[in-house]
Amino acid sequence: MKIAIIGAGALGSVIGFHLAANHAVTLVDPWEEHVNTINEYGLRCSFDDQEQVRLLPATTSADNLEPVEVALITVKAAQTPWAAEIAAQIVQPNGVAYTLQNGLGNAERLASRLGTQRVGQGVTTIGATLLAPGHVRMAGRGPTTFAATPSLQLAYAVADAFRASSLPAGVSTDLASLVWGKLIVNTGINALTALLRVPNGALANIPAAEKLVRRAVEEAVAVACAAGITIGLSDPVAETLAVARATATNRSSMLQDVLRGAPTEIDTINGAIVREGQRLGVPTPFNAFLCDLITALEATTPLRVK
Ligand code: KPL
């Protein structure tokens, strides 16, 4: 199968590295240094106490790319319009671009450029960290699930490709519960770790921080219930704290964004909870406050005292 990974950050590079063992994979990313390093020396991936280098092509644009059956969209939310342009050029008319991005609204943004028939949703719990240009680490081999729509055949094909490359994967007809389950976990962890500047585990170990996780998660759960979503988490606060513990030494993706002065995904995570809450008449003052704090943090980055 011909696969393009659009967004070769930590997650996209780890997935690309694995899939390239069995499939024709191309990485597409605007970061020239990363792309050039991969083309020159191969992509280095550290995982399970070992390190391997694999040769696979990387590029910064869609020029000269052959059409693909599947594109995996792994860019940050702010880069979705860029990814949509690339996908529109290379995904075959009967192919699908699967978004594996955090938060809500990315699939809709892609569909406005590609059409709903060429966009699918996925949810992944693979843990990944970018160590240096051309070098990533896989921190966790969690499962990835693909939506049965718009193409059951391609959803199974891409899930098979993952499994054949030692990445657990499956297909679901009820992806909304998984999307919301992950959204709720991200709502409780990402903004708080970025504001407190702590690794994920601190949220579960420090009662004052745990209290804040509870407030963010309880609002998000109330919104999900009002939206009629059956979330697959029996105790969402406890499960969010369990994810924080399981990824204790990780820096959340939002903390990593804040530390390198990049735009965060606050709008598609806590911002999505606030918007859905407004639409459904569910108050979300704590999540609105987290959005305001992260937005102010982003805006004041250049003025930060060292
Ligand atoms: O998905 C994550 C993220 O950082 O975006 C978690 C689960 C919080 C792991 O770091």
Q: Is there an atom of ligand 1 within 6 Å of 189 CB?
A: yes
* Segments of the chain assigned to CATH 3.40.50.720: 2-173
Q: What does the pLDDT read at residue 139?
A: 81
- pLDDT over threshold 90, residue 65: yes
Tokens of residue 100, six digits: 């594996």
Residue nearest to atom 6 of ligand 1 (CA): 252
Residue to substitute in 195, 198, 247, 249 for testing ligand 1 pocket (most ligand atoms within 8 angstroms of CB)? 247
- pLDDT over threshold 80, residue 260: yes
C-alpha 295/C-alpha 298 separation (Å) is: 5
Q: Does domain 177-303 have CATH number 1.10.1040.10?
A: yes
What average pLDDT score do residues 248-254 get? 89
Distance (angstroms) between ligand 1 centre and the Cα of 9 equals: 14
Q: pLDDT, tens digit, for every residue of 115-142?
A: 999 999 999 988 888 999 999 999 888 8
Distance (angstroms) between ligand 1 centre and the Cα of 252 equals: 5
C-alpha 289/C-alpha 185 separation (Å) is: 18
State the catalytic residue, choosing from 2, 76, 182, 306.
182
Helix, strand, coil share (%) of the chain residues, nearest 5: 50, 20, 25
Q: What is the CATH number of domain 2-173?
A: 3.40.50.720
Give whole-number Cα distances, 215 to 19, 66, 182, 226, 284, in Å.
39, 48, 17, 17, 9
Residue nearest to atom 9 of ligand 1 (CA): 252
* Segments of the chain assigned to CATH 1.10.1040.10: 177-303
- pLDDT over threshold 80, residue 306: no
- pLDDT over threshold 90, residue 17: yes
Q: What does the pLDDT read at residue 233?
A: 82
Q: Is there an atom of ligand 1 within 6 Å of 264 CB?
A: no
C-alpha 115/C-alpha 229 separation (Å) is: 25
**Residue 68 exposure: Cα atoms within 13 Å on the Cβ side:** 29
Q: How confident is the model at residue 144 (pLDDT cuts 50, 70, 90)?
A: very high
Complex-level ipTM: 0.98
Q: Which atom of ligand 1 is nearest to the CA of 189?
A: 8
Q: What percent of the chain has pLDDT over 90?
A: 88
